Amino acid sequence: MTTPSLSIANELGRLLQEKKLQLATAESCTGGLIASALCAAENTPAFYGCGFITYTDEAKIRLLEVSAGTIATHTAVSEQAVKEMAAGAQQRSGAHVSLAVSGYAGPEGGEDGTPVGTIWFAWQLPDNTLSTKVKHFDGDSEAIIKQATSYAMGTLIMLLAGYGEARE
């Protein structure tokens, strides 16, 4: 576990607990590294209950209810796909908040010419506010996955910081 990821996971965990929120994750290219960082954080059960690792298109469709049409039209590495992954993780888990990640960490990019390092993110909050972002990271597969993990959690911290008051 990288120190930056663990420190971000601890900060995210404290914020989720302060706001009395539970998180679910839906990961593809990060392969569970986000879940691993969260599980290494302090008091994990108080804020994290469920993670989906859906590397294949079939897993995204079956476990997160991503539309096969979405994948056929937009690919699994797209804004629409991560939106559906985040919604599916939140719905299937019952969590208040979800984050989803799908991308090309390497060594190859997409068949459609999408370059290695292209990662799509989605974050869904309790009021169903959905934010998305595409980022391009440099480095080998391991470096890209670590950067994506830190970015996913760090951005969720920023989104939650502005979200409502602590829940009663």
Domain that holds residue 31: 3-161
User: Is residue 98 domain-resident?
Assistant: yes
Query: Within a domain: residue 38?
Result: yes
Please report whether residue 168 resides in a domain: no
d(CA 36, CA 52): 12
In a domain, 114, yes or no: yes
Other CB atoms within 10 Å distance of the CB of residue 47? 25
Q: What is the pLDDT of residue 165?
A: 53
Q: pLDDT by residue (tens digit) across 96-149?
A: 999 999 999 999 999 999 999 999 999 999 999 999 999 999 999 999 999 999
Is position 167 within any domain? Answer: no
Residue 163 is predicted with a pLDDT of: 78
Q: Check which CATH number belongs to the domain holding 113 and give it.
A: 3.90.950.20
Instruction: Provide the domain count of the chain.
Output: 1
